[in-house]
Copies of this chain bind each other. A is one copy, B any other.
């Protein structure tokens, strides 16, 4: 019996996905954008319990650089910035739904 991995071929794809969604806040942000569509920064912040200004900024930046979310800035005063899932981000929604489903089935106990 081999000790090597043989589940779905290379482990790299899994690692890649992991690198995208790892971190304390990433999945929560994706989840909220999946729920709420296009949202302003402040609204996002209000809905993520305990996150700080700095953290939210940095996480949004990382997700944007991975093309998971899009950022639209309106050149006005006061500033207004809206975030939304990209197509790539949308493709993660089934995963989020799976997580919700799993949570519903197992949280009691």
Copies in the complex: 2
Interface-central residue, A36, A94, A97, by most chain B CB under 10 Å = A36
State whether B102 touches A91 (Cβ < 8 A).
yes
**What is the total number of residues of chain A having a CB less than 8 Å from a CB of chain B?**
46
Residues of chain B within 8 A (CB-CB) of A97 are 8
Residues of chain B within 8 A (CB-CB) of A34 are 7
> How far is A31 from B106 in the complex, measured between Cα atoms in Å?
19
Interface-central residue, A34, A88, A101, A106, by most chain B CB under 10 Å = A106
State whether A96 touches B14 (Cβ < 8 A).
yes
> How far is A95 from B104 in the complex, measured between Cα atoms in Å?
14
Interface-central residue, A7, A21, A34, by most chain B CB under 10 Å = A7
